[in-house]
């Protein structure tokens, strides 16, 4: 590999199993020389395989509810103790919609579910950066990245209220990115990834058909979880020091295609 992250330290949120983008990011960060702490919600730790990843990458696990300021404060403080100093990178790879899980339509949500999903998927990013910012936990030229999806810009009916959550997430990245850049020379960006068969992604209704459609629409095809990890590593590295407050599409060109030949062929009569 290239030692792109040699000597860098960070926190990776959201790895659950080998299908997780966060899992792939952790593996690649380790290969590039980084040290990091892994974190997820306590219930996710019971369901997933994070101990396996921790052993593989020589990392410690700190459970944290990303909606809890107390948990996030403990996470950041303990991470700096374990890693021996300030942080160089943070990955926020968290998303959840109770309405989707419970089969509630966008036009008939349960608003308690909406609020919970909004807190987990978007406000948690603001809370995380709040703690990092006020504790001055990031090194200069550090990098904070969150994963998003282009349902924040376009309508994908079955993506439900997660689309609203992602739109808010991207706005938080821009707004907090300004203050983090101005005051601490820290970058904040979001990556808008292709539909990816993660555990969470596969919970969206009609996912198989949707991923096939995106593949046919994208000139380069869908980006895989590993390819997203590679892109994330580039944003953690010193090669992208002046990239901030951006929503970066990593989707094989899907976001700029109106229609493709492959899709047109499906709807054109011979």
| Binding-site sequence positions | 14, 20-21, 94, 166
159 assigned to active site: yes
Residue 116 tokens read as: 């919970």
Beta-sheet pairing, 87-92 with 9-13 = parallel
178 assigned to active site: no
Task: Please return the burial class of 213, using the count of CB atoms within 10 Å of its CB with bins 0-12, 13-18 and 19+.
Answer: middle
Candidate list 2, 106, 111, 159, residue with the active-site label: 159
Candidate list 149, 178, 213, 231, residue with the active-site label: 149
**Can you tell me the distance from the alpha carbon of 45 to that of 75, in angstroms, rounded to the nearest whole number?**
15
- Output the CA angle 8-14-19, nearest 5 degrees: 105
**Can you tell me the distance from the alpha carbon of 20 to that of 255, in angstroms, rounded to the nearest whole number?**
22
Q: Which residues are annotated as a binding site for NAD(+)?
A: 14, 20-21, 94, 166
Q: Which residues pair with 90 in a beta bridge?
A: 11, 144
8 A C-beta contact, residue 254 and residue 194:
yes
**Can you tell me the distance from the alpha carbon of 263 to that of 8, in angstroms, rounded to the nearest whole number?**
44
Catalytic positions: 149, 159
């Amino acid at each position: 590999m290239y030692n792109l992250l040699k000597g860098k330290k960070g926190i990776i949120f959201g790895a659950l199993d080998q299908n997780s983008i966060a899992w792939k990011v952790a593996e690649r960060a380790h290969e590039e020389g980084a040290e990091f702490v892994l974190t997820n919600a306590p219930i996710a730790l019971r369901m997933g395989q994070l101990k396996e990843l921790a052993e593989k990458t020589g990392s410690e696990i700190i459970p944290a509810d990303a909606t809890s300021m107390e948990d996030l404060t403990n996470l950041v403080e303990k991470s700096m103790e374990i890693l021996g100093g300030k942080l160089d990178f943070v990955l926020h790879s968290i998303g959840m919609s109770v309405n989707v899980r419970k089969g509630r339509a966008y036009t008939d949500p349960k608003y308690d579910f909406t609020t919970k999903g909004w807190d987990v998927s978007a406000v948690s990013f603001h809370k995380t950066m709040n703690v990092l910012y006020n504790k001055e936990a990031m090194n200069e030229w550090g990098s904070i990245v969150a994963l998003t999806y282009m349902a924040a810009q376009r309508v994908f009916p079955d993506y439900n209220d997660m689309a609203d959550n992602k739109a808010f997430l991207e706005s938080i990245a821009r707004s907090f990115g300004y203050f983090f850049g101005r005051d601490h020379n820290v970058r904040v960006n979001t990556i808008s990834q292709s539909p990816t068969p993660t555990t969470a992604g596969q919970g969206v209704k009609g996912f198989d058909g949707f991923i096939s459609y995106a593949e046919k629409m994208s000139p380069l095809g869908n980006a895989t979880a590993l390819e997203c990890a590679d892109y994330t590593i580039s944003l953690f590295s010193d090669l992208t020091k002046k990239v901030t407050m951006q929503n970066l599409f990593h989707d094989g060109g899907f976001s700029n295609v109106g229609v493709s030949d492959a899709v047109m062929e499906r709807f054109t009569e011979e």
